[in-house]
Amino acid sequence: MLVDGERARFEQVATKPFEDPTATVPMKLVVTPPAGIRAGRELTVEVDYSGSRPQVFTDPDGSSEGWIPACRTPPGETRTCDSSFVVGEPMGSQAWFPSNNHPSDKATFDTTITVPGGDTAFGAGELTGAPTDNGDGTTTWAWSEDDPTATYLVTASNGDFDYSESKLRESATGRTLPLYTAIDPSASDAQQVTLARRLGRTEEITNFMAERYGPYPFDSNGALVDHAPSAGYALEVQGKAHYSSPSASQSTIVHELAHGWFGNSVTPARWSDIWLGEGWAQWSQWLWDFSDGTSSESPAQRFTNGYASGPESKWEIAPAVLDGDPANLFSTFPTYTRGAMTLEGYRQIVGDARFDRFARALQRDFAHANIGTRELIDFAKRSSGLRGGERMRLESYFQQWLYDEAKPEILPADFR
């Protein structure tokens, strides 16, 4: 362990344990520099890490993350594990490399992975060149991401995949971006055909989002589709969305691609702000589904139906509070649905033109950075065009929709 080239003391310290005894307690690496550090001074900390096998973490909600073996047991055959599905939200990245592992502490990444010949290995960013045949039955893949990236959005997924490269053209800018795709070869013929059709719309979906939010924030795009039932979810791994099943729906693909703008580039400042990423991605999914004809419900109808349906108790967990319980981070109604409803309500209050300018301004002012709930509320108020009492009512609207542990009473119709 070195700090500015000098040896430093260090220790591993367990973070505050979760109430659920089955959940993984993450560790923090505490480094003590040999000398004091002046405020504002830059320093370099070098950490050499080796030896431990990458781990699978169990989250407080019972889900798995980290370095997840992708295994299947075909009828009448033995269990086969042919790849690793490496995902890190919220804490799984520290299952395989030391890092501060907080969404507000972004970094650039160079990733070099050596795997058996014929296997594919994904890292963050773009390939720095063709995979290298090492002459010993192994191949090395090297990737580089020069955009600031939260640690939970990096990957080292690797194994037996059908790998391909193609191009994506962004209409608004004329840029042509590499598109990296890896598909588990165990997908059935029917699944392969469906995946090809759904992933084949990546360029169309990217341009759909870019029309509303501004240019795609990164230099490449792609997807990894595995058979990893022990994960059971998709994750917006930066530039390479990960799907744990070959049956990934078109709506799910849209949701993960929308995270490129909200979640990956504009990232929540802390985990209690997670509704910011998930709410925008959910709203984007609603808009695409309606525009594409997949759903007959517009985002406005989703708002109306979501407000009218279900028990009152579903409102007891507020998006920006989540009862202070990490097990609620990915709770569907508060984080995804109510988060998206908050944004849809704001759109109805200010109108489409101001809403689109608001979204683009967020991408301009917070690109590759972080934003908290309070910052977003203040930004939305300034962008609203409302004055006086109407602007004060908008403050109350956000307070009720994001912080109150009860059904909000202020609706868009109250602003007309």
Q: What is the CATH number of the domain that holds 96?
A: 3.30.2010.30
- Do 216 and 341 reside in the same domain of the chain? no
Integer Cα distance of 184 and 391 in angstroms: 51
Q: What is the pLDDT of residues 169-221, one digit of tens each?
A: 999 999 999 999 999 999 999 999 999 999 999 999 999 999 999 999 999 99
* Digit-coded pLDDT (tens) for 305-351: 999 998 999 999 999 999 999 999 999 999 999 999 999 999 999 99
Residue-level pLDDT at 219: 98
Its domain, for residue 100, covers: 55-265
Q: Are 162 and 213 within one domain? A: yes
pLDDT at residue 289 greater than cutoff 80: yes
Last residue of a domain, one of 265, 282, 302: 265
Query: φ, ψ for residue 37 (rounded to 5)?
Result: -120, 125
CATH code for the domain in which residue 324 is found: 1.10.390.10
Total domain count, the chain: 3
Are residues 32 and 87 located together in one domain of the fold?
Answer: no
Give me the chain's average pLDDT, please: 95
Which of 218, 243, 265 corresponds to the end of one domain? 265
Does 39 share its domain with 63?
Answer: no
User: For 52-56, what is the mean pLDDT?
Assistant: 86
Helix, strand, or coil here: 347?
A: helix
Q: What is the mean pLDDT of residues 40-66?
A: 89
Residue range 228-255: mean pLDDT, rounded: 97
Beta bridge partners of 161: none
Whether residues 296 and 353 fall in one domain:
yes
Write out the E strands in 269-337.
Answer: none
pTM here is 0.95
Q: Average the pLDDT over 381-387 and give the result.
A: 97
Question: What is the three-class DSSP state of 252?
Answer: helix
Confidence of residue 53 (pLDDT cuts 50, 70, 90): confident
Q: What is the pLDDT of residue 142?
A: 98
At residue 333, the pLDDT reads 98
Please give the Cα distance from 266 to 277 (Å, whole number): 8
Do the Cβ atoms of 43 and 37 come closer than 8 Å?
yes
Query: What is the pLDDT, as a whole number, of residue 295?
Result: 97
- 255 in the same domain as 116: yes
Of 265, 295, 318, which one is at a domain's C-terminal end?
Answer: 265
pLDDT of residue 99: 87
In the predicted model, is pLDDT for residue 229 greater than 90? Answer: yes
Could you tell me if 79 and 200 lie in one domain?
A: yes
Residues 142 and 196 in one domain: yes
Residues 168, 356, 280, 344, CA torsion sign: negative
Same domain, 44 and 70: no
Q: Are 200 and 320 contained in the same domain?
A: no
Query: Per-residue pLDDT tens for 132-179?
Result: 999 999 999 999 999 999 999 999 999 999 999 999 999 999 999 999
Q: Is residue 386 located within the same domain as residue 282?
A: yes
38 pLDDT band, cuts 50/70/90, is confident
78-97 average pLDDT score: 92
Shared domain for 170 and 236, answered yes or no, is yes
